[in-house]
Amino acid sequence: MLIHLTKLTKHGLRPHGLHSLYNLVSVSLLSSYNLKSPETINDTACQVSALLHKPNWQQNDILKSLVSHMPPHAASQVILLHGENTELGVRFFKWVCKQSTYCYDVNSRIHLLNLVVSCNLYGVAHKAIIELIKECSDSKDDILKLIVALDGLSKDGFKLNYPCYSCLLMSLAKLDLGFVAYAVFVKLIADGFVLSAIDYRSVINALCKSGLVRAGEMFFCRVLKHGFCLDTHICTSLVLGHCRGNDLKEAFKVFDVMSKEASYRPNSVTFTTLIHGLCEVGRLDEAFSLKDEMCEKGWQPSTRTYTVLIKALCDISLTDKALSLFDEMVVKRCKPNAHTYTVLIDRLCREGKIDEANGMCGKMLQDGHFPGVVTYNVLINGYCKQGRIIAAFELLALMEKRTCKPNIRTYNELMEGLCRMNKSYKAVHLLKRVVDGGLFPDEITYNILVDGFCREGQLDIALKIFNSMSIFGLVPDGFTFTSIIDGLCKLGKPELANGFFGLMVKKGISPDEATITALADGHCKNGKTGEALMIFERMVQNTDLKTPHVLNSFLDVLCKENKLKEEYAMFGKILKFGLVPSVVTYTILVDGLFRAGNIALAMSMIEVMKLAGCPPNVHTYTVIINGLCQRGRFKEAEMLLFKMFDLGVSPNHITYSILVRAHASTGRLDHAFKIVSFMVANGCQLNSNVYSALLAGLVSSNKASGVLSISTSCHSDAGSSRLEHDDDDYERSSKNFLREMDVEHAFRLRDRIESCGGSTTDFYNFLVVELCRAGRIVEADRIMKDIMKSGVFPAKAITSIIGCYCKERKYDDCLEFMNLILESGFVPSFESHCTVIQGLQSEGRNKQAKNLVSDLFRYNGIEEKAAVLPYIEFLLTGDELGKSIDLLNLIDQVHYRQRPVI
């Protein structure tokens, strides 16, 4: 009822038209709730039947209301009442399937078809079958369901006519269902039909597209016996079949034969098929040469030819060349299609160039192509990866406005975006909206949610989701189990992880390397190295290891425990399994040697790595520089840093941070700033570790006691970025002095950093964030306002101040600060808006919260607020993790209902 009232309002009707409104709502209620008794069904069928005689009946609002919840058996009664008018019956069949929530999915449409056949309306049934075949031609699952249903009807005496068979063969060829196409062909012959050339072509094409090229050739021999001749279409299918089987040699043999015969010379499709085959195996130079040959022989490259080449370039990240080819395509008046644009939009999104992707979408619209669900999904994924979630939801609203129905993948992209922002509970809210709307989640949906909650440490909710998969008929796969196992290990529950591993094996799911690594790494980190080794020994018998990742985990634990002999033994195990040690493996060994004090041997490992064909990378050199600094050998560490460039390896911010911290903590500030200058000159951004070290050094140099001492210890793990995260002692020391330091020290450091060529914006981000963490919000606010006067808006600093004000519930100060930056032209992040809106709502200050929501829309350029608001309102509600399980229970209940909530 609410849906219909909303539609009325949109069409300009107001409550004063009570009589007509009452009639329409009565019809709606009748159609929604009273279609179960035979008398009501007959009455409603008669009403609908009468309305079908009116002109332009498809636009009749009363008719739409009557059929909005009309079940298939009621729709079949309407068609029966028009049994003499086959054309009208077919038109109503197609229309009701789009209008009624019962008939929307393929199962309900098949049910309606069965009812039409049972009424002996064969004329309607045959034409309806052709329509259903066309509608199912984009989904293998749907077309196979339809074929099973048609087999059932044939057993009851109903026969397909020739147009149905012919249409079915073409759809099966399109979907690469070669075996099924051949089975349909056998049935067609058995029913006594004589095939035309196009049917034989369809069968050959279906077999070849499925990679069954030998079967296609044998079938063609049968075609020749019937007097049909070889033609370009059949030869092109054979070329396609060989390309699908990666047998390009045979494909070119067929192509050469075609080139010599005038009756079946290669055409644009043949050339494009071969070009696609070459692209699939990475032979792009030959593909472009064939394109040139194609032009020389008088065939202009088609839209598909260009699209295939553009995609091949995008797949190997040659985006600029792909865009140049797109420009060539336009210049040669070969019009790009929606797929061409989508390929480029996808590539730009993968590179994080979302604004350029949006511009490409604008070109697509100018060219007369409306984005389809695939294009929208690509854009939504791109926005989500950049954390621009409000823009992603705006696209969702735009899809519905343009009658482009979102699919489950659309919502999966949005849910993954929410989980990436550590808002998995919001993804559960979205899942409920999805199920309420009649869509059902798939395995990917559940994997996204399970993985999201596991990464947030919310194992209770992750397990609830895991256990509820069966309600939707879904089965956990290896990814699901690996996420749970990894989550349990990270929470220090390796025994429970073992239990899930056993369940995984019991269900017949083979663990892969990711599963083994997660389980072994978890046990190692929880001090159960021996148990991890036993589990590994059992598992490795049935799993083919391709990388040394899992053994590196053991190696790393032994390294940290200073067990050098055991490290060597583990290294031997890597070789025993036939695995090639990676740069990570060698880097762990180097770290182990430094820990054991064997510096000379550690340094000699560089040459060993080069001889083994595994040259050291930035992490290896960082571990060595860290080891030298720990032993006070700063000069050697510096020399190695400068030498790295000659060795073809660029230091990263961790490498520089280690040296800066080592110099600053020992009072060698001039040396520290020398490294900073070198760091900036080589395009490496300064980070919070560098700023903290320098600031601590400045404060310490002004203290006569010089008591401030910050450890330079920085241990590596597998040569990875764990160097960034293992300095907890250092962070605690930093926080202590940041609470007490004079802000003048910070301004002195700013001046020194500026003289070194560093970014003051980055420094202000660091300073304000750290002051907020230290509880010095008033000073942070004052500094921020002074900075903004010069037109600088450090985003992290602004977010930190807003968050700090909200945490202290100082909403008046927060609103004043937000108004100031908004008036200055800077828009705070969506997360900041949400934090303030939620805080204001909790204080009962709803009017101010509403004003902020309006600002959020206005400053994000959203014009149609009403369309977007329903999709993001749940993002603006409180962070109530506890409600996630209640929501999941509600989703389960929704699934068990007879109809989804509309």
Q: Bin 511: left if φ > 0, else alpha if -120 < ψ < 50, else beta.
A: beta
Question: What does the pLDDT read at residue 284?
Answer: 92
Determine whether 681 is exposed, middle or buried from the number of CB atoms within 10 Å of its CB (0-12, 13-18, 19+).
Answer: exposed
Cα(821)–Cα(791) distance, integer angstroms: 10
Query: At 880, is the pLDDT very low, low, confident or very high (cuts 50, 70, 90)?
Result: low
Does position 445 have pLDDT exceeding 90, yes or no? yes
Segment among 274-278, 307-311, 395-399, 558-562 with least mean pLDDT: 558-562
Residue 384 neighbours by CB distance under 10 Å: 24
- Each residue's pLDDT tens digit, 503-541: 998 888 888 888 888 888 888 888 887 787 777 777 766
For residue 566, give both structure tokens. Answer: 């055991």
Cα(331)–Cα(340) distance, integer angstroms: 15
For residue 539, give the amino acid letter.
Answer: M
Question: What does the pLDDT read at residue 612?
Answer: 86
Segment among 329-338, 721-730, 750-759 with least mean pLDDT: 721-730
In this structure, whether the domain defined by 759-861 belongs to CATH 1.25.40.10 is answered with yes
Q: What is the CA angle 615-616-619, rounded to 5?
A: 150
Query: At 103, is the pLDDT very low, low, confident or very high (cuts 50, 70, 90)?
Result: confident
Cα(857)–Cα(869) distance, integer angstroms: 9
Query: At 138, is the pLDDT very low, low, confident or very high (cuts 50, 70, 90)?
Result: confident
Backbone angles phi, psi at 149, to 5 degrees: -65, -40
- Each residue's pLDDT tens digit, 639-657: 999 888 888 889 998 999 9
DSSP 473: T
* Cβ contacts of 752 within 8 Å, gap of 6 or more: 673, 694
Does position 370 have pLDDT exceeding 50, yes or no? yes
Helix (H) or strand (E) holding 434: helix 424-436
Question: What does the pLDDT read at residue 896?
Answer: 52
In contact, 449 and 431? CB cutoff 8 Å = yes
Does position 449 have pLDDT exceeding 90, yes or no? yes
Would you mind telling me the total number of residues written for the chain in this entry? 902
- Each residue's pLDDT tens digit, 164-199: 999 999 999 888 888 898 898 888 888 888 878 888
Does position 360 have pLDDT exceeding 90, yes or no? yes
Where exactly are the structural domains of the chain? 1-151, 759-861
Residue 520's nearest CA partner among 723, 509, 543 is 543
Query: Locate tokens 């494009």: which residue?
Result: 272
Cα(88)–Cα(379) distance, integer angstroms: 41
Query: At 338, is the pLDDT very low, low, confident or very high (cuts 50, 70, 90)?
Result: very high
Residues of the chain with pLDDT > 70, as a percent, come to: 88
Task: Give the mean model confidence (pLDDT) for residues 541-566.
Answer: 78
Query: At 878, is the pLDDT very low, low, confident or very high (cuts 50, 70, 90)?
Result: low
Does position 859 have pLDDT exceeding 60, yes or no? yes
Residue 27 neighbours by CB distance under 10 Å: 20
Q: What is the CA angle 896-900-901, rounded to 5?
A: 120
In contact, 855 and 861? CB cutoff 8 Å = no
pTM: 0.75
Task: Give the mean model confidence (pLDDT) for residues 689-700.
Answer: 85
Residue 6 neighbours by CB distance under 10 Å: 10
Query: At 81, is the pLDDT very low, low, confident or very high (cuts 50, 70, 90)?
Result: confident
Task: Give the mean model confidence (pLDDT) for residues 418-435.
Answer: 87
Residues of the chain with pLDDT > 90, as a percent, come to: 22
How far CA 313 is from CA of 4, 26, 276, 363, in Å, comes to 50, 59, 12, 20
In contact, 35 and 41? CB cutoff 8 Å = yes
Listed in sequence order, the DSSP H helices in 577-724 are 583-595, 599-611, 618-630, 634-644, 653-665, 669-681, 688-701
Listed in sequence order, the DSSP H helices in 191-247 are 197-209, 213-225, 232-244
In contact, 62 and 51? CB cutoff 8 Å = yes
In contact, 864 and 416? CB cutoff 8 Å = no
Residue 727 neighbours by CB distance under 10 Å: 22
For residue 275, give both structure tokens. Answer: 């070009």
Cα(359)–Cα(381) distance, integer angstroms: 16
* Cβ contacts of 785 within 8 Å, gap of 6 or more: 820
Query: At 708, is the pLDDT very low, low, confident or very high (cuts 50, 70, 90)?
Result: very low
Does position 427 have pLDDT exceeding 50, yes or no? yes
For residue 893, give both structure tokens. Answer: 């209940």
Cα(623)–Cα(617) distance, integer angstroms: 10
In contact, 291 and 257? CB cutoff 8 Å = no
Listed in sequence order, the DSSP H helices in 52-161 are 61-67, 72-81, 86-99, 106-118, 122-135, 140-155
Query: Locate tokens 């509403």: which residue?
Result: 850
Cα(384)–Cα(415) distance, integer angstroms: 9
Question: What does the pLDDT read at residue 19?
Answer: 37
Residue 1's nearest CA partner among 20, 27, 34 is 27
For residue 72, give both structure tokens. Answer: 């298939």
Question: What does the pLDDT read at residue 760?
Answer: 85
For residue 779, give both structure tokens. Answer: 């000073």
Q: What is the CA angle 75-79-83, rounded to 5?
A: 165
Q: What is the DSSP code string of 609-635?
A: HHHTT----HHHHHHHHHHHHHTT-HH
- Each residue's pLDDT tens digit, 13-53: 333 333 333 333 333 333 333 444 555 667 778 888 888 88
* Cβ contacts of 368 within 8 Å, gap of 6 or more: none
Task: Give the mean model confidence (pLDDT) for residues 590-597.
Answer: 87
Mean pLDDT taken over the chain:
82
Q: Side-chain half-sphere of 509: how many Cα atoms within 13 Å?
A: 19
Does position 715 have pLDDT exceeding 70, yes or no? no
Q: Choose between 720 and 756: higher pLDDT.
A: 756
In the chain, the largest separation of any two C-alpha atoms, in whole Å, equals: 105
* Cβ contacts of 692 within 8 Å, gap of 6 or more: 730, 731, 734, 766, 770
In contact, 301 and 334? CB cutoff 8 Å = yes
Q: What is the DSSP code string of 521-557?
A: HHHHHTT-HHHHHHHHHHHHTTS---SSHHHHHHHHH
How far CA 154 is from CA of 45, 185, 378, 585, in Å, comes to 28, 15, 42, 64
Question: What does the pLDDT read at residue 383?
Answer: 92
How far CA 594 is from CA of 568, 584, 597, 745, in Å, comes to 14, 15, 5, 36
Question: What does the pLDDT read at residue 532?
Answer: 78
Sign of CA dihedral 372, 369, 871, 816: positive
Question: What does the pLDDT read at residue 59?
Answer: 85
For residue 595, give the amino acid letter.
Answer: R
- Each residue's pLDDT tens digit, 149-160: 898 888 878 889
Query: At 891, is the pLDDT very low, low, confident or very high (cuts 50, 70, 90)?
Result: low
- How far is C-alpha 784 from the geometric centre of its chain's CA atoms? 37
* Cβ contacts of 707 within 8 Å, gap of 6 or more: 700
Query: At 9, is the pLDDT very low, low, confident or very high (cuts 50, 70, 90)?
Result: very low
Q: Bin 861: left if φ > 0, else alpha if -120 < ψ < 50, else beta.
A: left
* Cβ contacts of 32 within 8 Å, gap of 6 or more: 1, 68, 69
Cα(845)–Cα(867) distance, integer angstroms: 25
